């Protein structure tokens, strides 16, 4: 019998949020403040102490630069933040 140790889970599955993850909306029209995952629920996440709900594909983890800025950065700001 030939067994492999390959992971059975997709690595980029956005439903892999955990409680206390800091996230931002992906849509620039949505509010740009940081939010904290309160609970993962199906294809979505409860945010900020169970006050808001968002589908997992509408949020992404906040970058270190965004956490330091305490808000979602624009694409241009994000590009500048990546420059050493």
Distances (CA, A) of 62 to 23, 43, 56: 5, 19, 13
Token pair for residue 24?
């931002």
Looking at residue 71, the DSSP 8-state letter turns out to be: S
Flag whether pLDDT at 8 surpasses 60.
Answer: no
Domain spans of the chain, in order of start: 22-81
pTM: 0.76
* Alpha carbons 74 and 51: distance in angstroms, whole number: 25
- Torsion angles phi and psi, residue 22, rounded to 5: -95, 125
Under 8 Å between Cβ of 38 and 18: no
What is the C-alpha to C-alpha distance for residues 13 and 79, in angstroms, rounded to an integer? 24
> What is residue 83's predicted lDDT score, i.e. its pLDDT?
66
On the question of pLDDT at 15 being above 90, the answer is no
């Amino acid at each position: 019998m030939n067994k492999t140790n390959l992971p059975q889970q997709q690595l980029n599955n956005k439903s892999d949020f955990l409680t206390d993850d800091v996230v931002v909306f992906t849509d620039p029209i949505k509010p740009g403040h940081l939010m904290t995952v309160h609970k993962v629920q199906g294809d979505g996440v409860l945010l900020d102490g169970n006050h808001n709900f968002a589908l997992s594909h509408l949020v992404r983890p906040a970058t270190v630069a965004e956490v330091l800025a305490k808000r979602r950065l624009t694409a241009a700001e994000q590009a500048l933040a990546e420059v050493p």
